[in-house]
Structure 1
């Protein structure tokens, strides 16, 4: 009869897993900050506020006269919700839409995101670290097939 795992053996397995998850989240936040920069150039918020896909994704949270920080918080609320780490299909679609719009905006603004948008956007990205790790795992071809902007988000 196999032995049941003890608390100590479970703890020994949990610590490396927790350390890896922490490292992925920290690396994601650091990478987002590094890629998004720490300077004060502007332009991304204006482009995102004009983007019809972002407007549609944010739904009733969207206001034409939103400030950049209000936009960031609206994106975070729509993409992350109240239960961090657990995302509905709709939240995943909002995140995908915003990431695609930010990518397009970065091309137009020479790779700069407004300072007021950086923290909420980085926090939203970091909240999807576990989803990202699971979708880029070997053998997950559904993610690749649904990666284009015209396809719906994946439900995890």
Structure 2
């Protein structure tokens, strides 16, 4: 074949390749579009057999997401805060796994489900705190979907895979009001843990609550780092966090929060674990090198937790 003939045939080959590429792109686009169109409402929870079984007969395909959220709360939240039956804890676990196994990472939670799921996370604050802190091996061995809730300290507890819980918290935080209730509950629980440390505690008994708090708050900071440039989200979060009454351990941090602008909110949230530990340790009879060492550990732990999660 002559050089001239080769040049004449190349445009035809090029057009063929372009046509194939366009066809493939069109197929991918159609697949993505159809995938979106087939996305189940309410993040697929109403169609989940696990959710239908544990939440109850009120859950059915085609129900509104608002009604589904109400049903989840009624099935999982105890009459007394933090006190749950095995069935209630199981309902929460099934909802978490239905979300975790049926959604892509960083999924968008239906707006009507954000406040109800936040209410559930608040009612299970102790379990959520322990799972985010990663400090209790029981919550690791019992995290699988086939593991039942267990009874301890007069209530039933649940565990789920860490990433499933974190993805759920991240999704709930798409509503800053809903996230504020979760954060405020974790803050209150963190202060309770610090206040419960015996006066004569040393070693791990002295440092563990502060370290757990740093991991939890650092993780929450990382999970919500994607909103750091959202002015409206930051403003709403700050205003709702300020509605929580401060206590002796949080009063210093609350004053900083009140005096900060929404632009500086991320820094103030990042400093919460350190400020709380500083206020608490200042009331303890402890040698200054020990206190300074704890503060340094808390700061490092929060940073590590934040950087591990931050997108």
Unaligned runs of 5+ in 2: 1-38, 157-311
Match of 2:65 among 68, 72, 84: 68
* 1:103, distance to aligned residue in structure 2 (A): 1.6
- Specify the alignment match of 2:174 in structure 1: none
Runs of 4+ that moved beyond 4 A:
134-137
Q: Normalised by the size of structure 2, how large is the TM-score?
A: 0.33
> C-alpha separation between the residues in 1 aligned to 2:145 and 2:44?
17
> C-alpha separation between the residues in 1 aligned to 2:82 and 2:50?
24
Match of 2:80 among 80, 83, 90: 83
8 A Cα contact 1:55 1:62, kept in partner:
yes
Counterpart check, 1:125 vs 2:140: no
Pairwise CA RMSD of aligned residues?
Answer: 2.3
* 1:119, distance to aligned residue in structure 2 (A): 0.6
User: Is the radius of gyration larger for structure 1 or structure 2?
Assistant: 2
> C-alpha separation between the residues in 2 aligned to 1:150 and 1:69?
28
> C-alpha separation between the residues in 2 aligned to 1:90 and 1:133?
21
> C-alpha separation between the residues in 2 aligned to 1:55 and 1:84?
24
Q: What CA deviation, in whole Å up to 9, does each residue of 1:51-81 have, x standing for no partner? A: 1111111123323342100100100111113
- Specify the alignment match of 1:55 in structure 2: 52
* 1:133, distance to aligned residue in structure 2 (A): 3.0
> C-alpha separation between the residues in 1 aligned to 2:110 and 2:129?
27
- Specify the alignment match of 1:11 in structure 2: none
> C-alpha separation between the residues in 2 aligned to 1:46 and 1:102?
7
> C-alpha separation between the residues in 2 aligned to 1:44 and 1:144?
31
Query: SS where residue 113 of structure 1 aligns?
Result: coil
Higher relative contact order structure (alpha carbons within 8 Å, sequence separation ≥ 6): 1
Pairing 1:6-155 to 2, within 5 Å after superposition: 43=40, 45-107=42-104, 111-134=107-130, 136=133, 138=135, 140-155=136-151
8 A Cα contact 2:47 2:60, kept in partner:
no
Q: Number of paired residues?
A: 113
Unaligned runs of 5+ in 1: 1-41
> C-alpha separation between the residues in 2 aligned to 1:71 and 1:64?
10
